[in-house]
Amino acid sequence: MTTLADLDTPAALLDEPRMNRAIARMQQRMDTLGVALRPHVKTAKCVEVARRQREAGARGITVSTLKEASEFFAAGFDDITYAIGLAPHRIGAALDLVRRGCRLKVVVDSLAAASALAAATRRGDTGAASGVSAAARADAGGRLDVLVEIDTDGHRAGISPEAPLLLEVGTVLHAAGLLAGVLTHCGASYGCRSAATLEAMAEQERSRCVRAAERLRAAGLPCPIVSVGSTPTALFARALPGVTEVRAGVYVFYDLVMAGLGVCAPDDIALSVLTTVIGHQPDKGWVLTDGGWMAMSRDRGTQAQPEDQGYGLVCDEAGAVLEGWIVNQANQEHGIVEHRGGAKAGADVQGRFPIGTRLRVLPNHACATAAQHQGYAVVDGAAVKARWPRFSGW
Amino acid sequence: MTTLADLDTPAALLDEPRMNRAIARMQQRMDTLGVALRPHVKTAKCVEVARRQREAGARGITVSTLKEASEFFAAGFDDITYAIGLAPHRIGAALDLVRRGCRLKVVVDSLAAASALAAATRRGDTGAASGVSAAARADAGGRLDVLVEIDTDGHRAGISPEAPLLLEVGTVLHAAGLLAGVLTHCGASYGCRSAATLEAMAEQERSRCVRAAERLRAAGLPCPIVSVGSTPTALFARALPGVTEVRAGVYVFYDLVMAGLGVCAPDDIALSVLTTVIGHQPDKGWVLTDGGWMAMSRDRGTQAQPEDQGYGLVCDEAGAVLEGWIVNQANQEHGIVEHRGGAKAGADVQGRFPIGTRLRVLPNHACATAAQHQGYAVVDGAAVKARWPRFSGW
């Protein structure tokens, strides 16, 4: 049996029981709320992880790049929402996925993008060398649906639900037979600081997105899909009338940012980085490890939270949190582990953490930390049960 | 001919003329100072880049992982310094490289690591299944040299040049026939704010490392190698008596952190990320691009500098800096480009940067941004001359 002791460091560990609990929790919550769950696979970028989400009841997936769409389609996922505004130069590649049988949904939030898409669909553009007609695409079983991105929190992209532009974009898309609904992502939820504000943010995300759908329908335009979501709003929403599906991603691993929001506990976090102690600066109470920012990422997502976790919260090799110890500084291949209380609280670091000691580190932001690794060592206790690859790039 | 217009985005661009100038500049500087240059290849992790450094006169390379050592050794680089404290569990892999003919230099800063290495060398440990004696390793032409890491700035690892521990570690290594010198890296140079403080820091790095070498020699211990370096101290050192070699890495690309220190100008930066405009929030003066933190990294290295560059400084597609425009916010696959002056200064973003516009972004930290990509599009003007892969992982 392969065990933690057989792994080189730094290594990304995926605690399978914790992940399975997270998947079950989110699916149960969505089932209770009566909406479909379409997980965002950008966190793990791993086919095996997405399969477990599907087995638990997820319907379709969400991706952040066409590379993800292509990889997951090749692995048998054919209901895919690409949730980033479609750039015109990617229309050919998107239509090529459709031609090959993918039920792809894409997102626009401007007249320019909607018009480019409508024109390309009429022409039958594809990413392949030969042109393929819309009829041929339909023959292949694929279908391109377009969602209008709605801005429900002012934090990124999307059209305001009250803007005249919403109906203009909807009309262009409908004339091309492409309009399928509305989509929003309430990233502002990451800035909430209490359960009450998270609940309010979830309701804001819901109500504004539903309002956009109602405006389209009132104008005689179809809007079957009403897609909302982020991990915090998904878990704090009290009810989701008018919503058809929820997208959430980071819940599959959770992370310290989510723990800081009260969305999970540190013990729920399924992703960690296994590191080895390589030195000390005893006078400063420093423990040097081989887990620097290359292994953790440069994400400092807890910096603005009440409890700044540095570059990560330190656990023993078995995964038990070592209270007070964080990766306080990081160079490319060095982590500097310190006690929050400083050198005095961190006395006798050489005795407590001898060279060769293995420590696990919980990450600030699972999406960013996972992206630093080429795969996961899937662990259950000390056993390494599998190695799952993840993909990267565009 | 492949041109910038043929590239999908986001893509890491490597401006070859700029890189060649940077390589020539550093080599000339080291030649003038009379020391060898041993470039740190962790920035580019690219064999083609290191070949150009070697052709310009570099002697040997520096690496931050044994994966890099192994990859570069396979590509014909056989004089390699692994400049991170050697963890005991990596001794076998290091000795295996030596057995295969690599002139590997490793670094220790503790009695524990020095003793483990001395014991393993006596036993003839290897990473391969079969044990190989020291004699057999010598037959193969390889050689393991050990450098004692010296702390010259209090910022990370290393032994103080005045500490009794220095002689203890040196004695253990010499008894095993391994002691080859001293090595330091003055990372504190990144916090300097003027040419005068950079010059002073370079002299501190030099004088303290030379002092450690002199203490070893005074105790009858050999110390042929005195290795110092960082890009800022390399370029600001006025003289380097007693130093035998300089290590520097990021100079090969430069970045905004280096520009903020006065080490280079933004126009010297050879690495950039090509992005596409995918949307706008006109009321806020926002331009949304497909260059988010996955493409730029989460590194915010200019945050503490007088001029905070956000997630990067924006240029037009040809690489000319667009004064005042930075990537002010980043999500995973979204960059939010804003003018420093806010929405008023950034008026008419839709007219100025229509959807589909391509923008280049100069990175805060070349090592971190390059690590987000699997390779480089090597450009000279609008021509894409080559694709060079880079490797990652451990």
User: Mean pLDDT across the stretch A192-202?
Assistant: 95
User: Mean pLDDT across the stretch A242-269?
Assistant: 97
Q: Suggest the residue from B3, B4, B8 to mutate for an interface test with chain A (most A CBs closer than 10 A).
A: B8
| Dist CA A132 CA A64 (whole Å) | 26
Q: Suggest the residue from A257, A298, A350 to mutate for an interface test with chain B (most B CBs closer than 10 A).
A: A298
Domains in chain A, please, with CATH? Answer: 16-252 (3.20.20.10), 266-389 (2.40.37.20)
Residue in the structure block whose two tokens are 């996922």 = A77
Q: What is the CA radius of gyration of chain A?
A: 23
Q: Which residues of A touch B365 (CB under 8 A)?
A: 298
The helix (run of H) or strand (run of E) holding residue B204 is helix B195-218
Please check whether residue A58 is in contact with residue A27, taking contact to mean a CB–CB distance below 8 angstroms.
yes
pLDDT at A347: 82
pLDDT at A329: 97
The amino acid at residue B129 is A
CB contact under 8 A, B336 and A156: yes
| Dist CA B182 CA A160 (whole Å) | 62
Q: Looking at chain B from residue 69 to 88, which residues have their Cβ under 8 Å from any Cβ of chain A?
A: 84-88
Q: Which two tokens stand for residue B205?
A: 């790095």
Q: Suggest the residue from A4, A6, A7, A8 to mutate for an interface test with chain B (most B CBs closer than 10 A).
A: A8
Interface check A380 vs B, CB under 8 A: no
Strand order in B61-63's β-sheet? B36-37, B245-246, B225-228, B179-183, B143-149, B103-108, B79-85, B61-63
Beta-sheet pairing, B375-380 with B11-15: parallel
Please check whether residue A386 is in contact with residue A378, taking contact to mean a CB–CB distance below 8 angstroms.
yes
The partner residue sitting opposite B157, judged by closest CB among A116, A300, A334, is A334
pLDDT at A131: 42
Q: Give the model confidence (pLDDT) of A210-231 as tens digits.
A: 999 999 999 999 999 999 999 9
Please check whether residue B235 is in contact with residue B250, taking contact to mean a CB–CB distance below 8 angstroms.
no
Interface check B290 vs A, CB under 8 A: yes
| Dist CA B5 CA B356 (whole Å) | 11
| Dist CA A85 CA B211 (whole Å) | 59
The amino acid at residue B332 is Q
Please check whether residue A275 is in contact with residue A10, taking contact to mean a CB–CB distance below 8 angstroms.
yes
- Please, what is the average pLDDT of chain A? 94
User: Mean pLDDT across the stretch A334-340?
Assistant: 97
pLDDT at A126: 52
Q: Which two tokens stand for residue A254?
A: 């959770």
The partner residue sitting opposite B278, judged by closest CB among A85, A278, A297, is A85
CB contact under 8 A, A356 and B88: yes
pLDDT at B133: 47
pLDDT at B346: 78
pLDDT at B353: 97
pLDDT at B130: 41
CB contact under 8 A, B356 and A87: yes
Q: Which residue of chain B is at minimal alpha-carbon distance from A187?
A: B331
Band (A344; pLDDT cuts 50, 70, 90): confident
| Dist CA A341 CA A187 (whole Å) | 33
CB contact under 8 A, B373 and A367: no
Q: Suggest the residue from A4, A231, A331 to mutate for an interface test with chain B (most B CBs closer than 10 A).
A: A331
Q: Which residues of A touch B116 (CB under 8 A)?
A: 355
The partner residue sitting opposite B374, judged by closest CB among A279, A334, A392, is A392
CB contact under 8 A, A113 and B290: no
pLDDT at A128: 43
ipTM of the complex as predicted: 0.95
| Dist CA B271 CA B14 (whole Å) | 5
CB contact under 8 A, B112 and A355: yes
pTM for the structure as a whole: 0.96
Asked if pLDDT for residue A84 goes beyond 70, the answer is yes
Interface check A10 vs B, CB under 8 A: yes
Among residues A67, A129, A62, A57, which one has the least CA distance to residue A92?
Answer: A129
Q: Give the model confidence (pLDDT) of A100-137 as tens digits.
A: 999 999 999 999 999 999 999 887 665 443 444 444 44
Chain A nearest-CA distance from B281, in A, is 7
Band (A354; pLDDT cuts 50, 70, 90): very high
CB contact under 8 A, A336 and B367: no
Please check whether residue B187 is in contact with residue B219, taking contact to mean a CB–CB distance below 8 angstroms.
no
Q: Helices (H), strands (E): how many in chain A?
A: 13, 17
Q: Tens-of-pLDDT digits for all 394 residues of chain B?
A: 899 999 999 999 999 999 999 999 999 999 999 999 999 999 999 999 999 999 999 999 999 999 999 999 999 999 999 999 999 999 999 999 999 999 999 999 999 999 999 999 887 665 443 444 444 444 556 789 999 999 999 999 999 999 999 999 999 999 999 999 999 999 999 989 899 999 999 999 999 999 999 999 999 999 999 999 999 999 999 999 999 999 999 999 999 999 999 999 999 999 999 999 999 999 999 999 999 999 999 999 999 999 999 999 999 999 999 999 999 999 999 999 999 988 888 789 999 999 999 999 999 999 999 999 999 999 999 999 999 999 999 9
pLDDT at B107: 98
Interface check B89 vs A, CB under 8 A: yes
A143: left (phi over 0), alpha (psi -120 to 50) or beta: beta
Q: Looking at chain A from residue 18 to 47, which residues have their Cβ under 8 Å from any Cβ of chain B?
A: 42
Q: Which residues of A touch B8 (CB under 8 A)?
A: 89-90, 394
Interface check B244 vs A, CB under 8 A: no
Q: Which residue of chain A is at minimal alpha-carbon distance from B296?
A: A298
Interface check A358 vs B, CB under 8 A: no
| Dist CA A228 CA A247 (whole Å) | 6
Angle at B26 between CA B387 and CA B40, to 5 degrees: 60
CB contact under 8 A, A151 and B281: yes
Please check whether residue A301 is in contact with residue A256, taking contact to mean a CB–CB distance below 8 angstroms.
yes
Q: Give the model confidence (pLDDT) of A11-61 as tens digits.
A: 999 999 999 999 999 999 999 999 999 999 999 999 999 999 999 999 999
